Every structure is written in C-alpha cells, then in structure tokens.
Chain A
Amino acid sequence: MQRFVYINDESCRDSYRDNRVSNTKYTLWNFLPKNLLEQFRRFMNQYFLLIACLQLWPTITPVSPATTWGPLAIIFIVSASKEAWDDYNRYLSDKKVNERRIWVVKDGIRRQIKARGIHVGNIVWLHENDEIPCDLVLIGTSDPQGICYVETAALDGETDLKTRIIPSICADLSSEQLGKIKGVVECPNPDNDIRRFDANMRLFPPIIDNEKCPLTINNTLLQSCYLRYTEWACGVAIYTGNETKSGMSRGTAEPKLTAADSMIDKLTVAIFIFQIAVVLLLGLAGNIWKDSHGCKLWYLMYPAERPWYDFLVIPLRFELLCSIMIPISIKVTLDLAKGVYAKFIDCDDQMFDPETNTPAHSANTAISEDLGQVEYILSDKTGTLTENRMIFRRCYISGVLYGDKTGDALKDARLLNAVSSKDPDVVKFLMVMALCNTVVPIKSNDGTISYKAQSQDEEALVNAASNLNMLLTSKDSSGIAEICFNGSKFYYEVLDVLEFTSDRKRMSIVVKEVKSGKFLLLTKGADEAIFPRSCPGEQTKTYLEAVEMYSHLGLRTLCLGCRDLEEDEYKEWSKKFQDASCSLDNREHKIAEVCNSLEQGIHILGITAIEDRLQDGVPETIKLLRKAGINVWMLTGDKQTTAIQIGLLCNLITPESKGQLLSINGKTEDDILQSLERALTIMKTALERKDLAFVLDGWALEIILKRSLESFTKLAMMSRTAICCRMTPLQKAQLVGILKSSGSLTLAIGDGGNDVRMIQEANVGVGISGREGLQAARAADYSIGKFKFLRRLILVHGRYSYNRTAFISQYSFYKSLLICFIQILFSFSSGLSGTSIFNSISLMAYNVFYTSLPVMTIIFDKDISEATVLRYPQILLYSQAGRLLNRSTFAEWFGRSLYHAFVVFLITINAYADEKSDMEELSMVALSGCIWLQAFVVTLDTNSFTCPQITLIWGNFVAFYMINLILSAVPTLQMHTVMWHLCNQPSYWITMALIVAAGMGPVLALRYLRNVYRPSAIDVLQQIEQTDGHAQAPGNLESSTGTYLDYLLTDLRRNKSSIHQPLLSDSASSR
C-alpha cells in the first residue's frame, strides 16, 4: 500500500488524519465501561462479582451483601483511579504537545498554528532547538548545502547528532519558492521502522524537474526529535498524529506476570476447586439433613410446597459462606506491597551512580519478585560489562606494532617520529582514520573542534588521529572534507558513503582528492570482513597475528584499508549504486550487493586496537552472581577472541587449568552440529568441579537453531556459562526465548538499542542508562547506572521482595481460610443450614482492616541482613528455587489455618456453652480469638522488628478492641454492648489466653525444633548473624561455617531438580 502526499495542496487534507497526538487509553465517555470491562477480564474479579450478585438474593445470603460489595467497590475504585490518574497525565502531556505553536504554510501564507492543526501535505517551518511535531520530508534548510542536524535521543536513544540532508531535487530552491512548491511524495503507509523510509518525490511545475527523486530516512525529520545547530529547516508533513514513526512504535507493553504470581494463581485455582468440593459436600449434606431432620422441626415451619430451586438454596448459601476462602484483598495488598518494593529500589542510594548522576529506577513496579528468582543472566558486553569509553591504544602499521611497550600508541615515540617524518604508510593510515567515518566535526565559537559521532569507535579513531596531527577540521554538505595535517590543509570530496551494517561489518567511503582528482575507496571494518577482500598476494598473515594478539589483550580491533579507483570504474559503479539506493523494495540487500562489488582488492594499511575498559566492580559482581547460583551468559556482537578475553577478565570463565571452554564452530553445517554434540557429551560426563562454558558465534547459532534446537536446549540447560559472539539483536532475543521456553527465569541486561529486543523478551529486562543512550533503559523494567548494581538489585531487592510476597500471599490465604473453616465448623452445629457465625460488619472489617494492616508490616522485614546476603550469596537459592512459596509451604499454611480454626472454634463453644451460648457473644469471642492468633502468627513469622512493624501489628490489635468497643455503643447494631459485656468477664480473657497458647504452642515448638535440629540455610545464617554480633572467636567460626555452608548449599543444589522445587518443575508447563 502506498500513500500519496500532495505537497501544499489543501484539497487533499481530509484524506489523512490531522496531527492530534493522543496517547490516552480512555475518553471521558468510555472510561467507566471500558475500565470496568478491562477489570472484569480478570478471573478473580469475575468471581467476586458473581459472589456479590448472588448475595443480592436474600434467601441465600448469610450476611449483608455489603460484605462483598464494599471491598469489591474499594478494589475497583482504587484500580480505576490509578488508571484514570495515569490517563489524565497522558492527556495533559498530549495537550501540551498538541497546543504548541508551529509555523505552517497555509493557503500560501506562512502563519503560526497549533501543532494539532497540521495536516498531511502541509509545509512546516522549524527553528533551531524546536521539537519536530510530525514526520516531515526535509525540503529546505538554512544551510546552503541543505544539511541540518537532528537529535534523535527521544526516538532511538542515541545521544549523538544525526545529519539530515534535503533531497537533490530541492537543492536549489529559494526560501520563497519553498513556500509555494507543489509536488507529490510517494511513500509507504505508516509503519514503525525508524531506520527505513523508502519513498520517492516528484515536484510539479513551475519547478519543472519531473524526475523521480529517491528519499531515504536521511531526508526525513521524525516526530519527537529536535532540530540542532541549524537556524531553520522546513519540510512536508508525511505522517501526522499517532501515525508517525514514533507514534507507531509506541506499543503498550504486555504486563509481565512473575513466577510468584503464577504460583499464586495456581494456588488460587486449587483453593477454588477445594471450595467447590466443600460447597458441594456441605450442600448435599445440608439438603439431606433438611429432608431427614429439618422438616421435623416445627419451629422452622418448612412449607410443604417448595419451589423448584429449593435444592440449590443450601449449596448456594455455602458457596457464599465459603467465598471468603479466596481473599478478596490479596490483589490490592500485593499491588501495594509491590509498589513499595519498587519505591525501595528507586530510593536505594547505594544503587545511585554519581558518575552519570542516575539513580536506579523500576519502570515496572510489578515484577520485583522475579529479580529474586533469576536463574539466567544474559548480558551484553559493550557498555554493560565494559565502560563503552573507547580509547585508541595500539596500532599495527606496515610491520610495526606501535604502543606495545607503553600500552599507548599516542605516546610511542616511534609513531610520533613516523608522523613527523611523514612516513607514507602512516600518513595514509591516519588519513583513513580521520576520513573514513560519519563523524560530524563541530566548531565551537572559540575555535576548538569537537566531534559528534554515532559510533564510539569512530570517535576514538578521529580523536586519536587529531592527536597525531591529522585533524579533521570540517565537513560540509557538498561533501568536501577538510583535513589539516601538520599544519597543511587537504581537501577531499566525499562522494559516497557505503554504510556500516551489522551484516557487512565494515563501512567504506569513496572520496575524490580535490587537488589531484584521484578517486579513493577508504575502508575500515572487522578483520574477517576485510581480509577476504584484500588484493591477491597481500600478506594478511602478519596482520592476522596482530589481530590475534590485540584480541588476547581484550582490545577491539579494526582493520583499515584503501583502494585506488579509476574514474570510469567509479562512474559505472556510482550509477548502479544510485539505482540500488532508489529501489523501493529490498533496498538494503541491493545496496549491500553493490557495495560488495566495489570493496574488492583492498590494500590493507594496518590494524587499530581500541580499548574498552571493564566497568568498575564487574568481575566481583559476576563472581558473586555466579556464586549465588545464577548462570551468566555473555551475548555480544563483538568477535570471539575479544569476547573470550573479556570473559576471562570479568570472571565469567575460568582459565584453562580449572575451566574448559567448549567451542562450537566449524566450516560446514555438519561440522557445527558435530561439535555441538561433542560439547554436549563433554558437558554430560564432566566432573562437577570443572567449570565448563561454551562459545559459539552468530553463524553457528543460526544453523543450530535451524537444525538442532533440541540438543542446544539441553546444552543450554546444563551450561552455567556461555559466550555468544557476533550476535544480532534478533539472535540475542532468540537465545532468551530458548531459555525461557525451557522454564528458566531469565534476566537480560544491556545498554544499547541492539539489546532492546532481548530486554523486552526476557522475564526481567534491565537497562543500563549508559553512553549508548537511554533506549535500552526505556525499554527495560529496571534501569541502573552500572552493571555492579545488579548484585544489589538481585540479591538484596529481588530476594527480599520474593520473601515478602511469599509471606503476604500465603498469609492472605491463611487468614481467609481460618475464618472460612470456622464458618464450616459452625455450620455443623447449626443444622448445616449455612448460618454465618460472624456478623456482616465483623466479616468485612476482618478482611479489609483487621488482617490486612498487620500483614503489610512484612514489607519492612528482613530475614537476614544485606551484608550477610552479600557474604553468602548462595542463599539466593532459596528464593530462586521458590522454596518459600510452593505447594508444600502452602500446605503448611493450609494445615495451620485448619488447626487454628479447630482451636478457636472448639475452645469457644466449650468455654461459652450453656447459659453463655449467646450468638452475638460467641461470634465475638471467636472473632477475637482469630485476631489474637493473627497478631501472634505475624509476630512469630517476622524476622526483624522495626518500629513500624511493632506499631502496626499491636496497634492493629488495640484498634480491634477500640473499634468493637465503639461499635458496641451503637444501639441499632446487633452487637450492641456485646464487647462491653465480654471485656468485663474474666472468663473472656482467660479464653483468649487459652486460644493463643493452644494455637501458638505447637507452632512455636515445631518451629523451634526445625530451627535448631533441622535448620535451613536461612536459619543457620540468622544464627551466625547473632553469634557474630556477640563476637565469639570470629576467625574459627568463619572457616568452619564457610565449609559447612558450602557443603550445605552444594548439597541443596544437587537436589535442585528433585521434589523440593515444585515451582521450578511447574514453571515449564506454566509458560
């Protein structure tokens, strides 16, 4: 499908939408229905709505409908207002954008209108530092050569300036003509590809140049970019409003579900099934009791004639009575807790990077638990493990290794001498360094020159060249580049740029030396991309050795070369290149082919070696994470030797004696598959102590994915470390996908645009707000300033979040089950008729108030201190393997609630028997029994008590009495004066103490026995923390503890796939 844009033609303005930008999800009118619909898509909400509706039928409802409608309404209002607030903020920012004043040519006159009034085909005028309001095709700039600069950071995250150029047919238009031109732009329908724009433009008379002119992305100004260093620019609106490239690339991200969440969902379903079973059983029993016994009770006056639905009444009553088994508050409580975890991450001042002034940020507030369950970390190399601060360190020119003594070629006297003596090889080498790039030199007012480059490597090379007196002073739009070498100026006309792509792995430019008129092809690229294209007879061996050597030092190498071109040859090629550039389909491929035809017979000039230093703290962090049982993989676009070198430097892989690196490669597809099988066999038979890792490159991966995915998955599951080099962004995402599909929880971390896909694919995406822009950080769930903060993010925040969520969710079920079991027990003494022992107010307050506040205190809880976690990172295994939230732990809570229900009920009915068995009193005794138990359960399960915790747990307890004493004063309530009566009875307090002792005694005893005689590693660490505090012969303790813990944790790890890990074994099927 094509779009035809008629420039400056008001008659076609209605065929496309105007430039009103809208990011809002709702309008004022559809908010309520749409939001409600969305909320009711969740199973839990549907369930509660059904329950609430059933409660409207007075025959079956055990309590007033308000017990469900109230909390339901609160939950809905909370989520709806959050949505509404977010949407309102989006609306405000949209409004700000839409109401900006923009200069537009309308009806031949230039005037200022609101940005939303721009239509497709309008000519828009922009001034320096303006934000571009819609997608434009550039037709004129203030620059005589038709160049302008844009900052695209908002679009792709790259902070460097990009050059945009006007199409050739607009080159000679005056600014008066610009306002009047007519023409047509033929372009594809809106899409979200911000790197491609394959279109044509034709201008109509009076500017008679009926030639079709090709347009590329370089001729466009895209919405949300900024115009820089250009006085003005004007363009034709092509895509407007939400149809722009930036508008189309905003997707609504699918909400991620954490492993803990899916476990909770599974438990909910299990409880739901249990509830249905209970309801059916009790309903059946109730009907039988009614028919056999109930009918004889004259005081019940059962009518002889009963309606047809009579058999349904009792089961439905029990359904309503048992509906509290699934805690209505769990979602709100968990959302609230997750919000707090995210805030803790945002506020952590130990994760603040003062160098870049960036604090950690969690964009996704819902998945902190997953951080604590990470099994695989897939990390980018450049900019993530390394600083991405490229420094030119060494070079190899015509047989001389410069910089091998000092480690810095710029200080190597031999090179400096060669430069001053104008050694022709060195001069040519430097010229390629200075010219073969897309760097933009910007001269500031005081005459100094700074370089704006899209690639850090290019910037490093140009800077190094300028330090060696080869100064790139200017580049103008007509393509003339000025170079200053040792004070004398040289001019080159840049004719074509054969761009870098990740497939080509090289870039070239064609220049014409202005003085001599000679044509030159200057090339730089990866060694394996250049060497095969060198001229025959070239001694590539020595260069290869140099490349090897530099890679071993962990340096990034580039091979520089050049070739003299004949004019005829160039002219012929240039035509083909033009055609390829104009083609509308498959343009990239065609261009690559044409480029390849020119890049042959290259004369190799030398090798540059650029250092990319490891980030601070990376080796320690990786060591710690690996010790914590996380498998760390490195996925990089860099070459194998460099990647391995970096891997060694940052503790990712162990040197030969202890570790072994299995390389999966080969010349043919079969070779590769064979080496994969070999690696798999070695991996299976290897000793546990040996640290195995595999290495493969993009090509091998491509073949493996095509032909042997299964064995690769096996290998991936066994391998703790892997280095994958020469990966494309897609392949990185595919690797994440493979690990994810085999049930592992993955975390992807990266800093650049090429990591975005992997970050979005992974369970948890972490972006480093680094030098390659913010693109990765924006796409990620968490953004941090440095790789080293990952250790805190996972071990501290992730682990605590998981522990806390595990407690909150299971406790929520516990307290709901407790009250529900009491109801069930009571129904056996009320003729299975479905009477609620508790009144409506108590039930509602129990769920919403009495029990949800104390449980929230757990968000401050720390089982072991941060320092201990970082000292014994193996402890992460507990959260990683889902030890604290799985079927067996849930069964424990289930059993506890059943036991506590029996304790509360039996003690209550026996202590309040005979003349005391008043319904209201008994109900209040049972309720207070529950509240007492709650307070003690939370206290027993809290590991560390801080002020807010103590206040909330016991304050809530006091509040319970206050509220009920106050409610007892209201004469219209059934519970009028009940609490006063009770509080005056010594037997009430004695009963409470009995309930607590009988309820908590066994729990405490079991907990104690387990802590002391069969402690988990967490218990041991808690004990160590305490004894360390008392300073008992620390040295001695240290060593013995260390070995014991090693033993303990390796033992655990060996059992990892066994029955102790329900979460892990399940997660495969859940995803």
Chain B
Amino acid sequence: GDPGLPSSAMYPLEMEGNSNPKTTNKPKYSKFTQQELPACKPLLTPEIVIAAFALIGALFVPIGLASLHASRQVVELVHRYDASCVPVDDKVGFIQNSRTDKTCTVTMTVPKYMKSPIHVYYLIDGFYQNHRRYVRSRSDKQLRYKSAAHLTSDCVPEGDTADHAPIVPCGLVAWSLFNDTYTVRVNGVVTQVNKKDIAWKSDKNNKFGKNIYPSNFQKGRLIGGATLNESIPLSEQEDLIVWMRTAALPTFRKLYGRIEKDINANDNVTVVIQNNYNTYSFGGSKALVLSTASWIGGKNNFIGIAYLTIGGLCLSLAMGFLVLYMVKRRNFGDPSNLSWNR
C-alpha cells in the first residue's frame, strides 16, 4: 500500500513513456532479473541416494573403528574417594570441621603400561558449575585489570567484604575453589605431580593479570574452598584459572597436574589425599583420575560407537533401499505405474 501515488498523479505526462516513441520501457534483459541463471537441479534419484548412504557408511565405519581403537588405547584409572575417605557417619559435620585430620590414602594398581604424560584429574559429580547464579558470579574485568578491582557488582554475594573492601578474585566461582590435594607415590616412591601449565596459555596471558594479587580472599565469615597465596599473581594461580574455566555439565573433570614419568603395569599407585572439599552436603561425589591421552583426547568410547552405529545404519539403509529399488521398481520420471491412493 503505497500512499505516495499522488506524486506520480501530479505529473501524468512524465509517466507516459509512450509519448516519446524512441524511449522504450522494456526492462533491461539480464539472466539474473529474468530468473534464468543457469541452475543445477540434482534430484534424489535412487542411484544417488543409495550411493550417498553407502559412501557415508563406508566412511563412518573405519573412522568409528579408529576412534574406538584410540579410545581403548587410553589407560584410565578412576578412583572415587568421597565416601571412603570419611570414616564417620556425619560426613557433612566431618568435612566442615576445620580441626579434623582429613588425610586419606588410596591405593590403586595400574592394569597397563601408562606412558607419560599421565594426566591427574579430579572428577566432581553433581556440581552445577553451569548454574546461572554461579556461572555469572565473577568479574572478568577485575581479573584482568589492576584498576578494575572495585568492579564487583556481578559477584554478589561474594563481592565485597563486610567493610566494603573488594574481594580479589571476587564471586562464587573463585570462592568455591577446589581444595583437595593429592600426593602421589608410585611403588612407594614419591612422584612429582607437575602443576605447571595445566591452565590454557591464553587464559594465563590475557585473562588473568600478571600484576593482580589476591586480597581479602576467603576472609569472610564463610570459607568456601581453597585459599590463595597473596604473594603470587593471579596469572600464576593455575588451579584457580583451571577452576574458573567453568564446566558446562554437572559432571566434570579438571586437570590437577601431570605425572611426567611412565608407570608400568602392576605398579602400585598410592595417593595421599587431603580431603577438604565439601561435596557431601549436596550429595555429589569426587574421584581421582589418572589418564593417558590419545589423538582423540581422553577415554571416550562415545564417538567410536556413534560412528559405528551411524555407519552401520547407513549401510543397511543403502542395502534396504537397494532391495526396495529392485523389488518395487519405479520408473523414474514415468509415473504411470504408480498408484496414488493413500
């Protein structure tokens, strides 16, 4: 509905192109405006579709096998210790009591040769790092810029101390930093767990300031998790950096460190755990994971199985279509043989 008609109605002579026989109003020809661009019109013919499914199947099955193989190459030791490390029934009381000795020793036997580096993870289950109240309770600016220490408005309820001094690093994420520690012995020999370079390099360089030191951290009435050494800048607090890269799912592993020594099969791995972190009050669980890595990452059979399933399905679809094509032959483009009744 263009109400602008009057403007043309005012000047009827300008509109009448036929008053001048030399000018033609014929639209200029171009393949584009005439919608005549050369086009390719692939049809879903039986040949193409059967070939496509067969091809997908043929590609997916080997990829699936390779992935599955890679995943099986990974040696992984998972040891859940949350229940076994608390000797009493009142687990929450035990963990919240700062005076009790929370040392706990677990022993595992390595089933297969583990090639270094061996990743040491802590696994937490039932911890909602992706909860909206949690995930947004941080101040990225404060972590990066010295001058932004006061920017704690997003960090409620862990923004400022009672006397309005900004907490660095502020927010629930930092406040709930994981604080179990592991000491690893292989066959009784203390083995170094290297905690260097466990965080993303880009995080260390760009997201956590080199000149920002923790202050007022864990000084409030409630202590959440680990404390931080106030003389080390945030960019070197790698445990914090790892922790603050929040997990998307309530079950997650985070890198604790690496063992840079091979472990042989049947070796005994003894881990002394300082069991400080409270997963008991919300019914979560904790585990220690030792794992090697392959090109596909850690141990994850999902991709391999999914690929094999899809590849298999595609192959059987191709077969099925082929049989159908043979049995109920349709003359493509000659539809007279078809019955239309539904």
Point out residues on A near B: beta carbons under 8 Å.
23, 25, 62, 86, 89-90, 93-94, 96-97, 131, 153-155, 224, 226, 246, 250-256, 293-294, 296-303, 317, 343-344, 346-350, 352, 354, 356-359, 363-364, 366, 774, 778, 800, 826, 829-831, 833-835, 837, 860, 862, 907, 909-923, 943-948, 971-972, 974, 976-977, 981, 985-987, 990-991, 993-994, 997-998, 1001, 1004-1005, 1007-1008, 1011-1013, 1015, 1020, 1022-1028, 1032, 1037, 1040-1041, 1043-1045, 1047-1048, 1051
Contact = CB atoms under 8 A, between A and B. Distances in A.
Contacts of B162: none
Interface stretch (B102-110, B189-197, B267-275, B325-333): B325-333
Given A363-B2, A917-B249, A347 B33 contact: yes
B43 interface: yes
29 contacts: A62-B132, A93-B7, A154-B10, A246-B6, A250-B5, A296-B281, A299-B176, A300-B133, A352-B26, A358-B18, A829-B249, A835-B135, A860-B37, A911-B302, A914-B253, A915-B121, A915-B254, A915-B297, A917-B252, A943-B41, A990-B303, A994-B303, A994-B310, A1001-B314, A1008-B321, A1020-B333, A1024-B333, A1025-B41, A1041-B335
A1044 B283 CA distance: 68
A830 B247 CA distance: 10
Contact of A997 (B60, B130, B144): B60
B298 A997 contact: no
Contacts of A1026: 41, 43, 332-333
A1027 B176 contact: no
Interface in B1-59: 1-7, 9-13, 15, 17-18, 24-29, 33-35, 37-44, 46, 49, 52-53, 56
Which 5 residue pairs are nearest across A and B when measured between Cβ atoms?
A1027-B333, A93-B7, A944-B39, A347-B33, A971-B206
Nearest to A926: B248
Contacts of A296: 281-283
Given A299-B134, A350-B34, 5 more contacts: A348-B34, A352-B25, A357-B24, A774-B12, A976-B202
A90 to B, nearest CB: 5
B33 A1012 contact: no
Contacts of A907: 306
A138 B44 CA distance: 74
A253 B144 CA distance: 59
Is the interface on chain B under 10, 10 to 19, 20 to 34, or 35 or more residues? 35 or more
B63 interface: yes
Contact of B6 (A23, A364, A943, A1020): A23
Contacts of A947: 37-38
A357 B25 contact: yes
Contacts of B88: none
A297 B252 CA distance: 16
B130 A919 contact: yes
A1027 B7 contact: no
B188 interface: no
Given A23-B7, A943-B41, A994-B307, A1023 B250 contact: no
Contacts of B43: 1011, 1022-1023, 1026
Contact of A253 (B1, B334, B336): B1
B255 interface: yes
A1048 B303 contact: no
A977 B202 CA distance: 7
Contacts of B157: 301, 303
B42 to A, nearest CB: 7
Contacts of B42: 945
B180 interface: no
B276 interface: no
A1043 B39 contact: no
B242 to A, nearest CB: 10
A921 B283 CA distance: 27
B313 A1015 contact: no
A945 B39 contact: yes
Contact of A944 (B27, B41, B328, B340): B41
A297 B303 contact: no
Given A298-B282, A976-B206, A250 B6 contact: yes
Given A254-B1, A829-B130, A917-B252, A344 B41 contact: no
A255 B3 CA distance: 10
A2 B246 CA distance: 80
Contacts of B11: 93, 154
Contact of A1041 (B129, B278, B321, B336): B336
Given A254-B1, A998-B310, A359 B27 contact: yes
Contacts of A347: 27-28, 33-34
Nearest to B3: A252
Contacts of B37: 860, 946-948
Contacts of B314: 997, 1001
A644 to B, nearest CB: 34
B67 interface: yes
A154 B49 CA distance: 61
B335 A945 contact: no
B224 interface: yes
B44 A1007 contact: yes
Given A86-B4, A357-B17, A945-B42, A298 B27 contact: no
Contact of A919 (B25, B144, B246): B246
Query: Which one of B60, B123, B338 has the greatest number of beta carbons of chain A within 10 Å?
Result: B338
Nearest to A157: B12
B128 interface: yes
Contact of A301 (B33, B172, B245, B321): B172
Contacts of A93: 6-7, 10-11
Contacts of A1011: 43-44
Contacts of B176: 298-299
Contacts of A829: 130, 248-250
A153 B12 contact: yes
A914 B251 contact: yes
B39 A990 contact: no
A297 B44 contact: no
Contacts of A944: 39-41
A915 B255 contact: yes
A93 B5 CA distance: 11
Contacts of B5: 250, 363, 778
A534 B7 CA distance: 50
Interface in B137-167: 140, 144, 157-158
Interface string B288-324: 0000000111101011001100100110010001001
A346 B17 CA distance: 15
Which of A25, A89, A301 has the most chain B CB atoms closer than 10 A to its own CB?
A301
Contacts of A1048: 335, 340
A1012 B7 contact: no
B7 A89 contact: yes
Contacts of A1037: 333-334
Contacts of A89: 4, 7
B328 A1013 contact: yes
B79 interface: no
Nearest to B321: A1008
A986 B296 contact: yes
Contact of A90 (B4, B158, B253, B296): B4
A917 B26 contact: no
A1005 B321 CA distance: 9
B131 interface: yes
Nearest to A909: B249
A862 B321 CA distance: 28
A256 B1 contact: yes
B282 A917 contact: no
